[in-house]
Amino acid sequence: GTARLTLHPAFTVGRVSPRLFGSFVEHLGRCVHTGIHEPGHPAADADGLRTDVLDLVRELGVTTIRYPGGNFVSGYRWEDSVGPKDERPRRLDLAWHSTETNRFGLSEYIAFLRKLGPRAEPMLAVNLGTRGVAEALALQEYANHPAGTALSDLRIAHGDKEPFGIRLWCLGNEMDGPWQTGHKTAAEYGRLAAETARAMRQMDPSVELVACGSSSQAMPAFAAWEATVLAETYDLVDHISLHAYYEPHDGDLDSFLASAVDMESFIENVVATCDHVGARLKSKKRISLSFDEWNVWYMSRWQQQERAADPADWPEAPRLLEDNYSVLDAVVSGSLLIALLRHADRVTVACLAQLVNVIAPIMTEPGGPAWRQTTFFPFAQASRHGRGEVLDVRVDSPTYATAKYGETDLLHATAVRADDGSVTVFAVNRGRTGPLPLEVTLTGLGLTEVVEHSALADADPDARNTLAEPDRVVPHPVTGTTLAGERLTATLEPLSWNVIRLA
């Protein structure tokens, strides 16, 4: 059968927030050290930042970058990461069983963002695992207060005259997870988040705060956690976080390809929970969603590695979570981007976890090159062309059977209308066996031309980019896509991510 959808400018979801194309840099494995920062590398600048990586991050089109964790933040002592580098202490990082040298810290993170350009915005997490209100305030004062106090003057003495101007802050990380250092119950965390938020707003009412939601929709306390936390924090925070990682289980690729079904239900369930709390509080305020960790992650492989690790070993920048992504993984990742765009009315922040080496679109070799994984391409294309107003796309699609989600649409799609009137359709064919004919009816959009149809697909869905073969997989142009009157006709290759640009 043929998959069909209709686009009309009057039916929209909402505007895409630039923050939807965020990413995440954690002190984990080689994301920071030998990832973005490698003094002595031939491509390193005077600050030790790898310019080859900076170029790729710019090409990826990343906006907001969350830092410094992740699980790492729950043991984070920000003071360790500022001041003269030679005096910075080496610390045990309990989250990733590593040694943190602190050779890259807060000031270097801000320098990294400034070099990326005006689109890059900080998103800083405070430690609510082993620390609390006082340390969050100290960090905020050091980072943001212009001058004339002990901590702002300390920043200036450290060489950063200009305040960092950090507006977006995460109140801890995954505090519902038993793996989190200083893990808390919903009631404990709700109170701590509320008091931290109140104090941070006393210093600066313009900060935007993200409360921790559940670490995944599968957590036993999911929804109850959000309701308890929001009952304490509703008037004090702006966003609630969502995290989700997907991988195939027991070789079930058909369900894996439908991962966005879970992601979309997760978003809708969090929206319902937020609005339920808002209704109880008789509040007109709407909480927005910060999907601040999402990706494909072969987590079960990591868990096996972790069990086999030597407990006496605390390595520096070890190779951790260095998943090498296939074409199939990239198609799923593209579908997750479609899910986020489809909910752009409520999801206003999203961070691809993570940016370099650690479950990342960009890989590096110490002393060697940097290259793009397969998952680089859907993100770069969505960030480039997915700006404007998301159109309300209702899909009429043939289906396929999945063990996890039942009958599922073969087509997953969204469309974004830019301010100049051009429209980009993002579409995934989840089918592994056959091409999918697509027909789009375009009404009242004044479109006359197919500018481009680009696809990521391969005869070998397991194909990957590697150090030896860094450009094995790249998107290719598709011919035969036509626009006749108001009807667009295309064929989506089996297992493919597609970008169809119309003007």
Amino acid at 195: E
Strand order in the sheet with 476-477: 12-15, 389-391, 411-417, 423-429, 496-502, 450-456, 476-477
**Least spacing, CB of residue 65 vs ligand AHR, in Å:** 13
Per CB under 6 A, which of residues 194..253 are in contact with ligand AHR?
Answer: 215
Residue closer to ligand AHR (CB basis): 5 or 352: 352
Q: Checking phi first, is residue 282 left (phi over 0); if not, alpha (psi -120 to 50) or beta?
A: left
For residues 394 and 409, give the distance between their C-alpha atoms in angstroms, rounded to a whole number: 11
Position among 3, 26, 331, 333 found at the interface with ligand AHR (CB under 6 A): 26
Q: Cβ–Cβ contacts within 10 Å for residue 147, how many?
A: 10
Tally the C-alpha atoms within 13 A of residue 154's C-alpha that lie toward its C-beta.
15
Query: Nearest approach, Cβ of 215 to ligand AHR (angstroms)?
Result: 6
Quick one: 125 or 327, whose CB is closer to ligand AHR?
125
Q: Which residues pair with 492 in a beta bridge?
A: 436
Q: How far is the CB of 414 from ligand AHR (least distance, A)?
A: 25
Site mask, ligand AHR, residues 166-185, x = CB under 6 A?
-------xx-----------
Buried b (16+ CB within 10 A) or exposed e, 327-359: bbbbbbbbbbbbbbbbbbbbbbbbbbbbbbbbb
Compute the least distance from the CB of residue 441 to ligand AHR, in Å: 41
- Count of residues interacting with ligand AHR (CB under 6 A): 10
- Rounded CA separation 337/408 (Å): 18
Encoding tokens for residue 447?
Answer: 């479109």
* For ligand AHR, the closer CB: 178 or 480: 178
Query: In angstroms, what is the C-alpha Rg of the chain?
Result: 23
Query: Using the 8-state DSSP alphabet, how is residue 88 labeled?
Result: P
Pick from 255, 275, 267, 279: which is nearest to 222 by CA? 267
By the rule CB under 6 A, 141 interacts with ligand AHR: no
Per-residue x/- track, 271-310, ligand AHR (CB under 6 A): ----------------------x-----------------
How many Cβ atoms sit within 10 Å of the Cβ of residue 292? 30
Q: Provide the b/e sequence for 388-417 (b: ≥16 CB within 10 Å).
A: bbbbbbebebbebebeebeebbbbbbbbbb
Q: Rounded to the nearest whole angstrom, what is the least distance from the CB of residue 128 to ligand AHR in the complex?
A: 13
How many whole angstroms separate alpha carbon 500 and alpha carbon 7? 13
Report the residue number, 173 or 402, with the smaller CB distance to ligand AHR: 173
Nearer to ligand AHR, 375 or 429 (CB): 375
**Helices assigned H by DSSP within 158-288:** 186-203, 224-233, 253-257, 259-280
Of the residues 110, 338, 350, 353, which one makes contact with ligand AHR according to CB under 6 A: 353
H/E run at residue 65: strand 64-67
Active-site amino acid positions: 174, 293
Closest residue to bound ligand AHR by CB = 70
Q: Strand 362-364 to strand 12-15: parallel, antiparallel, or no bridges (unpaired)?
A: unpaired
Residue 186 or residue 502: which is nearer to ligand AHR going by CB?
Answer: 186
Cα–Cα–Cα angle for 104, 106, 107, nearest 5°? Answer: 85
Helix H segments across 296-445?
299-308, 327-342, 376-385
Residue whose CB is less far from ligand AHR, 355 or 478: 355
For 343-357, the DSSP string reads: TTTTEEEEEEE-SBS
Least distance in Å: CB of 339 to ligand AHR? 18
- Compare residues 216 and 429 and give the one whose CB is closer to ligand AHR: 216
Pick the closer one to ligand AHR by CB: 115 or 183.
183
**Nearest approach, Cβ of residue 24 and ligand AHR (Å):** 7
> Min. distance of Cβ 174 from ligand AHR in angstroms?
5
100 touches ligand AHR (CB under 6 A): no
- Which string of x and - marks every residue 59-98 that binds ligand AHR (by CB under 6 A)? ----------xxx---------------------------
Q: Which amino acid is at 487?
A: R
**Shortest separation between residue 295's beta carbon and ligand AHR, angstroms:** 8
354 near ligand AHR (CB under 6 A): yes
**Which residues sit at the interface with ligand AHR, rule CB under 6 A?**
26, 69-71, 173-174, 215, 293, 353-354
